[in-house]
Chains A and B, each alone.
Chain A
Amino acid sequence: MSQRVLMKGNEALAEAAIRAGCHHFFGYPITPQNEIVAYMSKRLPKIEGACFLQAESEIAAINMLLGASAAGARVMTSSSSPGISLKTEGISYIAGSDLPVVVVNTQRAGPGLGGIQPSQADYWQATKAPGHGDLRVLVFAPCSVQEMVDMVTTAFDMADKYRMPAIILADGMLGQMMEAVTLPEDRGRQANNKEWATNGHAGENRNIINSLYINPDELEKIIRDRFARYAEIEAKHTQHEEYALEDADIVVTAYGASARVAKAAVRDARAKGIKAGFIRPITLWPFPKEAYAKAANTARSFLCVEMSMGQMVDDVRLAISSKVPVHFYGRPGGIVPAPEEVLAEIEKIAGGMN
């Protein structure tokens, strides 16, 4: 029987990954994700055939994922913003080699070393350029410890199904906070029966994992095939949450930790008689464009709230073809906005509309 337990986001995610059958983990220390690495270092050595390895660098860790995934294992790494920058090379090769991996980014503030407080400044990196080249990765944006748990399972299943990397785009707040969660049943190690895996074949049965195609016609075809897969994912697996949208004049939108704040502000606005609604993307790629486009038919304006100077707001404007104004409220540098700040923005917009 599954039972509710109180757990820190990072640790709950790590336990859920193990229960999803991830028995190979390669990581490197960086705040504020260290609990994931520490948890794995405690748990995995107790499982026969499992492997925890602290790599010499973020670059080495992501390339160990490449090898482990090529050999057919469910495999994960975790890091935080500056570390993810180092992993982008490997993510590009992994995407170009059609390998499934899960990468957790417990975001902190940037650029550079930035700070160690929660941030959402890696939206562009995760959704637009997680590595060089024409590629997409699945991007999941949890907004609670329970979603950290649920999404890591989904991320593994989706990554395997579509043979591509998945990123869990969390942040320092979700990673560090404790909430009651229900953990999934332990599925045990997934059978290493991927027919494409480089785990020992000879002659014509041999497998090659590769991202190099020197003939441009061949490479174009491979990229187009990959994008056909991406289109299928967009059609089938885009997820979002909506709240109080039916008669909303102002649609507030946010993802992850700032979505909790934004939703609270929408409730407060409703209590004050302002017709506010709410959209929260659960998948950042694929982005729930249609939900926004639909809302733009009736809403008079949007307000995008982020812990950054405004990154997702670009996608919101594109999704609604700038049909109505899209306002932005953000706190960069590691500051989590308070519901009152967001409510004040909603009131300002509501005042301007009258």
Chain B
Amino acid sequence: MTTVFERPKSLTATPNTYCPGCTHGIIHRLVAQAIDGLDMQAKTVGVAPVGCAVFAYNFFNCDMVQAPHGRAPAVATGIKRVTPDNLVFTYQGDGDLAAIGTAETIHAAARGENITVIFVNNAIYGMTGGQMAPTTLANQVTQTSPFGRDIKSAGSPIRICEMLSTLDGVAYAERVSVDSVPNIRKAAKAICKAFEIQKAGKGFTIIELLSTCPTNWGLSPVESLDWLRENMMPYYPLGVFKDIDGGKDNG
């Protein structure tokens, strides 16, 4: 019998705890596929954040460390400095990475820390019930911006890839989306590329993935994908913001 489809080795058989229609499941799969593709399952250490992906240690089938809120890049730094030959990645949401962990993110990037950050941007705090995140769009209604995000008071959302791409330590920064099959395929390639750059020891890599939160956006999964395309993509354009190899293929 020919196997045409199976779970990546780097994912466990544990059913995930994400809401129906959430795109975390897709992103987990892409990360696991990339680890398998490099045959690095036994040499990968993942760092789980605080937020919806806090239980990521149950789903990735490799060594995992659960970090304090926002500290995943610092924890990953410690791991990588002890075991530089291992593939080390963090998996973080926008509140974790762009609010409470901004300093850890920027300085890991500035040091050119040879780790990969998987940054899931869904413009909201999911786990705590839908509060405004640093990535929440202008006028977007959340639990803590009930009248819409007021730019005068809360400022404008942060574009992480653009900001980090100004730092010399960043080897690769790309924003992708998981809203459609073609975009998912591009996301898969981006994650592979980041891991390969890490394996080559070239520095900090970040893949930002535009993602949905049907539960806290108050939309159906399909409506959420439309909302992502119509609202997030114009403000968070997809593309490569930094490539130390100048776009050459690392593979």
| Central interface residue in B71, B77, B82, by most chain A CB within 10 Å | B82
Contact with B along A67-101 (1 / 0, CB 8 A): 11111110100000000000001100100010000
Partner-contacting stretch, out of B56-64, B136-144, B145-153, B230-238: B56-64
| Bound form: Cα–Cα A93–B106 in Å | 22
| Bound form: Cα–Cα A66–B77 in Å | 10
Please tell me if the beta carbons of B61 and A75 are within 8 angstroms of each other in the complex.
no
Please tell me if the beta carbons of B76 and A67 are within 8 angstroms of each other in the complex.
yes
Q: Look across to chain B and name the residue whose beta carbon is closest to the beta carbon of A92.
A: B68
Partner-contacting stretch, out of A207-215, A244-252, A280-288: A207-215
Q: Contacts A66-B75, A75-B82, A203-B41 given; 18 further ones with Cβ under 8 A?
A: A53-B81, A55-B107, A56-B103, A57-B103, A64-B78, A67-B76, A70-B65, A70-B78, A72-B83, A97-B65, A192-B82, A198-B79, A199-B82, A200-B83, A202-B41, A207-B64, A208-B63, A208-B65
| B74 close to chain A: CB less than 8 A | yes
Query: Would you give the shortest CB distance from A16 to chain B, in whole angstroms?
Result: 21
| Bound form: Cα–Cα A208–B62 in Å | 9
Q: Which residues of B contact A (CB under 8 A)?
A: 9-10, 41-45, 47-48, 54-55, 57, 61-68, 71, 74-83, 86, 103-104, 106-107
Q: Look across to chain B and name the residue whose beta carbon is closest to the beta carbon of A204.
A: B61
Q: Which residues of A contact B (CB under 8 A)?
A: 24, 26, 51, 53, 55-57, 59-61, 63-73, 75, 89-90, 93, 97, 192, 198-203, 206-212
Query: Would you give the shortest CB distance from A116 to chain B, in whole angstroms?
Result: 24
Selected contact of B78 from candidates A57, A75, A203, A210, CB within 8 Å: A75
Assuming the contacts A57-B103, A68-B81, A68-B82, asked whether A200 and B66 have C-beta atoms less than 8 A apart, the reply is: no
Please tell me if the beta carbons of A200 and B63 are within 8 angstroms of each other in the complex.
yes
Please tell me if the beta carbons of B79 and A63 are within 8 angstroms of each other in the complex.
no
Query: Would you give the shortest CB distance from A66 to chain B, in whole angstroms?
Result: 5
Please tell me if the beta carbons of A71 and B83 are within 8 angstroms of each other in the complex.
yes
Q: Which residues of B contact A51 (CB under 8 A)?
A: 81-82
Looking at chain A's contact residues, is the secondary structure mostly helix, strand, loop, or mixed? mixed
| Bound form: Cα–Cα A61–B74 in Å | 7
Please tell me if the beta carbons of A60 and B66 are within 8 angstroms of each other in the complex.
no
Selected contact of B45 from candidates A56, A61, A64, A199, CB within 8 Å: A199
Query: Would you give the shortest CB distance from B13 to chain A, in whole angstroms?
Result: 11
Q: Which residues of B contact A65 (CB under 8 A)?
A: 78
Please tell me if the beta carbons of A202 and B71 are within 8 angstroms of each other in the complex.
no
Query: Would you give the shortest CB distance from B65 to chain A, in whole angstroms?
Result: 4
